[in-house]
Structure 1
Amino acid sequence: MSLSLPISRLSHIAALLLLGLLSWACITANQLGWVTASPLMLAILLGMVLGHFGYQHLETRFSNTVQWAKGPLLRLAIALYGFRLSLDQIQQVGISGVLLAALILTITISTALWLGKKLGLDKQTSLLVGAGSAICGAAAVLACQSQLKASDEKVSVAIGCVVLFGSLAMLFYPLAYALLPVTEHQLGLLIGATVHEVAQVAAASGAINEPVQQVAVIEKMLRVMLLAPFLLWLGWFHQSEPREEGTRLHIPWFALGFLACSLISSADWLSGDNLAAIRYADELMLTMSMLALGLNTRITDVVKAGRRPLLMAAALFVLLIGGGLILTLALT
């Protein structure tokens, strides 16, 4: 899909500015400590509220821009997400951290596909919940949407699941860490490898101490780095299913862009101020995409999903903590 913005009418520009303003407000509210929810979660909730009360009257005029924010803008934001990472971070957790992140991803996705079939869930929902649990929460779910061509309702269900159980994991570790048979380094690896969102990892580990937080955030960034190869695999996996003859494998350009941005970040070509500006712009674009998703989400459609996605997310939550602890002890 082209990255060109549909600006044939003034309403498109007005809609884009409004999305940007509301997204900026979500980010600012989080930075100032007015709300504890992440900007992404706050944006989807705000979008859902506006979508039920008022947006219907503007949907005809603004729908093109909202769709653009959920499509090309989102893919650009996922590519720029690579600027949050540096290959130097791998050295700080060692080969054990790399293996832990890779195993967590592989086991979680495999379990999600197997358990989804047992629960009678469709493959799209299973992969969305699995990716959000295994990699980086809402950002991973959004990144997978374009590959899977999943509906907004399925994406909203998956995001709700991973945010709920990611929040529970964020609360669990500060309360239970004294009972876990791990060193501070191992605890940082465990938190980084098993908590869903980047912000949740920072909060959970920061509530313990700074050394644990440093290791946890680096380990989490390794999981985020696996988003690009996972998207490449997902494109192959999704299109290896029965399809019309002549359909070609689609390689997601934003996954390759993600890797390229990571390499640029690692090369130290950009100053700290420039990197900070790019990362803020990326967060703004991700938040705009989440707000657009919320605008097109109807709570009745989410409720129809039932309790099966929640059961899957709960099982993956237990697997991440229990399996993550076993793997951490085995690899370090």
Structure 2
Amino acid sequence: MLHLLIITLLAIVIAKQPLFNELGLGSLPLAIVLGMLSGAFFRGLGFASTDSTPSTSSLFCQQKLLRLGIILLGFGLTFQQVAQLGWQALVIDLAIITLVLLIGISVGIHCLGMSRELAVLTSVGSAVCGAAAIMATEPVVKGGHRQVSVAVATVVLFGSLSLLLYPVLFTILHIPSEQYGIFIGSTVHEVAQAVAAGQTIGPEALQTAIMTKLIRVLCLAPVVIALGLLLFRDKQACNESKDRSRKLPVTFPRFIGFFVLAVLVNSLFQLPEAVHGVISLISQFSLTIAMAAMGYNTRWSTLREAGLKPILLAALLFVLLISTGLSLNLLLYA
């Protein structure tokens, strides 16, 4: 447990440094990278077990603290934020989420031959809110920490690439800053990356980028529920019992319900800034240590075995995000 605390604190400190802050590399992707590096280092020296089964403390971080962090994220969102940007931003976000999920899952499974779990995790990371969405979807998908690590790696790669591309596109397209901020928020993977990309354009773009991105984060709960209903209703236990006609009931992730409740409370009541600060700190710590545990338990062989398929799928979704998001923004805000 001590090594996970050290990785977590180190990731939080590094994420606050100007260079990493400008690149939009938040503590979550940094924690999983540091966790992977430290895990490989200690296993190579023989100081850590080579057993693929995570320890009890790692499982606690990956499951319990992860859910706590996602629930607390809800206190940073309000339903009123949806109304401030107008119906266009909501339509753009919903259209992009739906399109990316449909194409990503279909192409991943049927064209690239990926497992259903990995295709869903990779797609949901691009469609909704990066690593946090992947981690929130895992309890329904039950893909395991290996596939989660691969999916998060694609978010880090293409989310970072977007930070180099978006300022260049702004100089070429000559779109008003506020509208370009909506384009950023509706297409960039991580919240931290949306903040970094918006800052490079200007204060107007930063504000609309954050608000649009938060609408996508707010869609996390219905997306997870829909995936559970549509894709993971038939559990593996049905196949093992050879009773294919029996359908097990959908397992509703209770922490998603608490997430929505947190958003509702924050929408109805104005919490003190000090309370928001404490909640944000606990949420960041919980999510970061969950990522650290995920990275620490990841084997490099897992990423090698995954091959180029997740990268190809993420690249396709990256192009889809930019092209669709830009087209919808130009169409609806013409």
Fold shared by both chains (TM-score > 0.5): yes
Give the distance between the partners of 1:125 and 1:313, measured in 2 at CA: 11
Letter in 2 for 1:156: S
Q: Tell me what 1:53 maps to.
A: 41
Letter in 1 for 2:14: A
Q: Is 1:20 aligned to residue 5 of structure 2? A: yes
Q: Is 1:214 aligned to residue 207 of structure 2? A: yes
Q: Tell me what 1:148 maps to.
A: 141
Letter in 2 for 1:88: Q
SS at match of 1:250: coil
Give the distance between the partners of 1:303 and 1:22, measured in 2 at CA: 24
Q: Tell me what 1:177 maps to.
A: 170
1:45 to partner: Cα distance? 1.3
SS at match of 2:111: helix
User: Residue 62 and residue 321 in structure 1: after superposition, are their counterparts in 2 closer, same or farther (change >3 A)?
Assistant: closer
Q: Percent identity?
A: 35
Q: Tell me what 1:198 maps to.
A: 191
Q: Is 1:29 aligned to residue 27 of structure 2? A: no
Give the distance between the partners of 1:33 and 1:125, measured in 2 at CA: 33
Give the distance between the partners of 1:239 and 1:54, measured in 2 at CA: 36
Give the distance between the partners of 2:48 and 2:318, measured in 1 at CA: 39
1:242 to partner: Cα distance? 6.4
Q: Output the aligned Cα RMSD.
A: 1.9
Letter in 1 for 2:190: E
1:58 to partner: Cα distance? 4.7
Per-residue deviation, residues 16-70 of structure 1 (Å, max 9, x unmatched)? x543343123112222436443211111111112211225645589810101111
Say if 1:174 and 1:205, in contact at 8 Å, map to a contact too: no
Letter in 1 for 2:322: I
Q: Tell me what 1:80 maps to.
A: 72
Give the distance between the partners of 2:269 and 2:249, measured in 1 at CA: 37
Give the distance between the partners of 1:78 and 1:50, measured in 2 at CA: 25
Letter in 1 for 2:258: G
Letter in 1 for 2:37: V
Give the distance between the partners of 1:109 and 1:86, measured in 2 at CA: 24
Choose which of 28, 33, 47 in structure 2 pairs with 1:40: 28
Say if 2:234 and 2:247, in contact at 8 Å, map to a contact too: no
SS at match of 1:247: coil
SS at match of 2:86: helix
Q: Tell me what 1:93 maps to.
A: 85
Unaligned runs of 5+ in 2: 239-245
1:171 to partner: Cα distance? 1.4
Say if 2:184 and 2:209, in contact at 8 Å, map to a contact too: yes
Choose which of 160, 168, 171 in structure 2 pairs with 1:167: 160
Unaligned runs of 5+ in 1: 1-14
Q: Is 1:249 aligned to residue 247 of structure 2? A: no
Q: Tell me what 1:282 maps to.
A: 283
Say if 1:83 and 1:275, in contact at 8 Å, map to a contact too: yes
Q: Tell me what 1:239 maps to.
A: 232
| Number of aligned positions between the proteins | 317
Say if 2:177 and 2:201, in contact at 8 Å, map to a contact too: no
Give the distance between the partners of 1:313 and 1:109, measured in 2 at CA: 11
Map 1:128-143; keep pairs closer than 5 Å: 128-143=121-136
Letter in 2 for 1:24: L
Say if 1:104 and 1:324, in contact at 8 Å, map to a contact too: yes
Give the distance between the partners of 2:18 and 2:258, measured in 1 at CA: 32
Per-residue deviation, residues 56-100 of structure 1 (Å, max 9, x unmatched)? 645589810101111121112111111121222112211111111
1:185 to partner: Cα distance? 2.5
Give the distance between the partners of 1:266 and 1:319, measured in 2 at CA: 33
SS at match of 2:201: coil
